[in-house]
Chains A and B, each alone.
Chain A
Amino acid sequence: MRPLEGVRIADLTWLMAGAGGLKLMSALGAEVIRVEWHGRMDWLRFHAQTPIPYHQPDHAELDPQSPNRGGYFNAINAGKYGISLNVKHPEGRELFKRLVAVSDVVVESFTAETMDKLGLGYEVLKSVKSDIIYYQQPGWGKKGPYVKYASYGPIAQGVSGLTEQSGLPDPNPPAGWGFSYMDWSGAYYCAIGMLLALNYKQATGKGQYIDGSQIEPAIYMTGTAILDYVANGRHWQRSGNRSQFRPAAPHGAYRCTGADRWVAIAVTNENEWRALVREMGQPGWAADPKFATMGARIPNQDELDRFIEAWTKDQDAYAVQERLQKAGVPAGVCQRAQDRMELDPQLKHLKWMIPLPHSEVGPWPHRDIAWHFANLQSDQGGPTGRSAPCYGEDNDYVYGELLKLTKAEQDRLRRDGVI
């Protein structure tokens, strides 16, 4: 049994912060119905084509006109159903309400006032289904003076403080994250909000409206720095890869052989230090009193790091990782995508990638979810058992089986530009 069997979600999200959360709900077994209209399609549908076959890029067949080959789109929307529906058309709005009437959750990530303007705000949908759960996730939240402001992952990271919390010390600029961390984290909180409301409804019978945002979860994760300012008046300062708040030295990424190859090493106590020194062959410099204790090493890290890197730079990164791990020292290669896919035996053991079929592209590997239930069933294929839906792929199922429209009604709606 899948955990969310019997739960139906009308999905009006796009890009990733919302859509990714619904992917997790699919993996947990909810029937997620993605509502789209070709007049304003998710641009990820046209971005980063999934080549056919995916693993022979040089010989791959591409079709830039197809909305069904967006590679990231197909990854972010796996396990969902998909319908085409023009919610700006008066009949489309009514049809959407019929879908809401048979759903448990409505979720959207438009700018904050879009659904109200369409006449599909929470109060309207609540009158259609009294216990509906409505989860809204505009960038900055619906309540507040910035209701119209825009956000993407890097925007959320920038303003929240997460970008400033990453990078070498001043005068270097912040390094940020190098990807939309707050799209994934936004997706987590989108799923969390819906799951909390579903659990609450199960206990009380009540639906509700949740005003989510992409930026508040980021602020929520900066709490220790907030407290350091509030309690001690201290402003945040970056420290590269060095450990500011938990004594550790060495603690950094060290160059190895090969192009742009690095191994992270973290020594958090004296046992680990002694083991590292043994692995390095008891070099004379390591006997210097300025490296003898954690307290001595921490202020001498510039010099310490040069010694450590002189030792790692002529070795293979994985070889350093293996020998240090065997000796009990926390160490790990700074892995790229290819490393995680081809060299990491643990991820392979955990079966982190699974093939899922896509109706136009065929089967290709997807990252599975990172939780493993003993009994419940959960995987990224979700109830559809496939990659993302093609545009309008499940119209027959949703309009025919679920909403009981006749074939003739569906044909008319199609002619009239509603579906």
Chain B
Amino acid sequence: MTGFLSHVKVLELGDEKGEFCGKLFAGAGADVIKVEPPGGAGTRGIGPFYHDESNPERSLYFWHFNFGKRGITLDINTAEGRELLSGLLAQTTVVIDSLPLDTMENLGFTWDALQKLNPGLVYVRITPFGRSGPWRDYKANDLVHMALGGEMMHCGYDPNPDLTYDTPPISAQMWHSSHIAGNQAFIAALGALFARGNTEAGDYIDIPVHQAISCCTEHDVECFLFTGRPYLRLTGRHARPEPDAPTQYKTKDGRYHCIIVNPFAGGFEAAVELLQRKGFADDLGSDKYKDPENRKNREFHHHFYGQIGKCVAASNLEDTWHEAQDLGIPWVPVRKPEENLNDPQWQTRQTFGEVEHPELGRSFTYPRSPMLSDECPWSTGPRAPLIGEHNEAVFGGMLNRSADELKRLRERKVI
């Protein structure tokens, strides 16, 4: 075995709600087969596109979220398609289903029927709000999920002095509702797989995206429980019941640094050491501030962080932060994603890797793995499947359909 899950087969049906979970399975070494309708999945229409050419084989979104999977096309709404799907369901270990509500049930694949077909099946059902309940049929997308789940009300810009807002709550971009639900779905599925290893029994797992997101905020629920107070949105830092000093400061080149002075012993002293070296310590090194009691009031905080702000204002994006980190201060440049590509830390860890796209005659750099294991390296490819790329391998190899039969199925637009 080379991957963590080389012994696991996964069938992925549905849309963006399940694609990240499938990507994690593929990264961990499972054989993930993505089932798309003939013509390709709708998520191939999500941009950006390679050379901005809106083409289902050129969606960079699709490339990223479907990295390492195999792909087949199948019209599951035809009788022949259903039969082929049934054959695949019988042979798979895990199903990730994010199809519209009731789709599989209406095709006859109820959980009872699936258990008869494949008693060890682990079935991961990802729905927007759950399979029952008053909001069951509500429509959502990434923005609406991040609103209802509570994330947006954490995120935005400082209020006016009277605590009213001119700016709206902000949703972080790039499909985090799929990440949040996908991560939790993967965790639950891995738990069920482990149980299956002991008992040979599978299970059905419901993951409502709305609940997954509502559970992913940090302390707002507990803060409300304990104090009855709502959070305020604050620029670039934690939402809390009252405004505090900024942690994000503008650099000389118009970018930002994020700095969190370590609350443990030594954090203040390390920051003063750095500020002295850079000539921004003002009186912070004086005896007055050696007593922690004199560092607890609001005036001190504004003075101290004000000096840090001046130090950042004299630095460019990549300046100063290594020196600060060497002194033990959590201090980073607020980078754009692509600005990590040449960082020596990630180069050493091979966090990014080249992936071949033979049909385009070149390779592209992808973020490769979220963790390092020598025993089970994260999979390095292949790139996302082309439309129906593995039809022969899967329908021929797994279901023993002959080349003639495949040709006929293709003509009838079943695959």
Contacts and interface: CB of A to CB of B under 8 A. Distances in A.
A372 interface: yes
B46 A246 contact: yes
Contacts of A188: 183-184, 187
B190 A259 contact: no
Interface stretch (B96-104, B128-136, B403-411): B128-136
A352 B352 contact: no
Contacts, number: 516
Nearest to B325: A149
Contacts of B28: 196
Interface string A252-281: 111100011011101010000000000000
Interface in B1-42: 1, 4-5, 7-8, 24, 28
A177 B335 CA distance: 14
A3 interface: yes
A189 B370 contact: yes
Contacts of A6: 198
Given A166-B171, A223-B67, A226-B367, 20 more contacts: A71-B219, A141-B345, A141-B349, A145-B348, A152-B330, A157-B258, A159-B334, A162-B172, A176-B237, A195-B187, A251-B143, A264-B148, A328-B139, A332-B148, A340-B150, A340-B214, A346-B136, A349-B133, A367-B221, A376-B191
B259 to A, nearest CB: 9
18 contacts: A48-B223, A148-B325, A158-B258, A161-B340, A164-B337, A173-B256, A176-B237, A188-B183, A200-B376, A208-B376, A221-B174, A232-B52, A232-B60, A244-B173, A252-B168, A266-B141, A371-B188, A373-B205
B345 A173 contact: no
B60 A144 contact: no
B221 to A, nearest CB: 5
A225 B336 contact: yes
A370 B7 CA distance: 27
A148 B7 CA distance: 37
A43 B264 contact: yes
Nearest to B234: A178
B143 A241 contact: yes
Nearest to B20: A221
A180 B157 CA distance: 16
A305 to B, nearest CB: 10
Contact of B147 (A174, A227, A335): A335
Interface string A35-76: 000000001000011110011010010000000000110010
Interface stretch (A87-95, A211-219, A396-404, A408-416): A211-219
Interface stretch (B74-82, B224-232, B277-285): B224-232
A333 interface: yes
B226 A264 contact: no
Interface in B215-259: 215-228, 230-231, 233-239, 247-248, 250, 256-258
Nearest to A213: B371
A336 B330 contact: no
B294 interface: no
Contact of A228 (B48, B186, B197, B262): B48
Contact of B238 (A54, A178, A246): A178
B352 A72 contact: no
A143 B207 contact: no
B143 A266 contact: yes
A199 B193 contact: yes
Contact of A240 (B52, B170, B188): B170
Contacts of B234: 178
A227 B366 CA distance: 7
B221 A340 contact: yes
Nearest to B52: A232
Listed residue (A162, A188, A255) with the most chain B CB atoms within 10 angstroms of its CB: A188
Nearest to A219: B367
B194 to A, nearest CB: 6
Interface string A147-177: 0111111110111111111111000111111
A240 B171 CA distance: 7
Contact of B173 (A239, A263, A352, A375): A239
Contacts of A222: 174, 337, 340, 367
Contacts of A192: 24, 183, 186-187, 190, 370-371
Contacts of A234: 48
A243 B370 CA distance: 26
A368 B367 CA distance: 32
A236 B236 contact: no
Contacts of B334: 158-159, 163-164, 174
B337 A229 contact: yes
A203 B7 contact: yes
Nearest to B131: A372
A82 interface: no
A165 B372 contact: no
Query: What are the 5 closest A-B residue pairs judged by CB atoms, nearest first?
Result: A178-B154, A161-B337, A158-B258, A349-B133, A229-B338
Given A175-B157, A330-B140, A262 B169 contact: yes
A334 interface: yes
A352 B220 contact: no
B216 A184 contact: yes
Contacts of A168: 157, 167, 170
A154 B205 contact: no
A287 interface: no
A208 B376 CA distance: 9
Contact of B168 (A219, A241, A330, A346): A241
A37 to B, nearest CB: 15
A269 to B, nearest CB: 11
Contact of A163 (B52, B164, B236, B369): B236
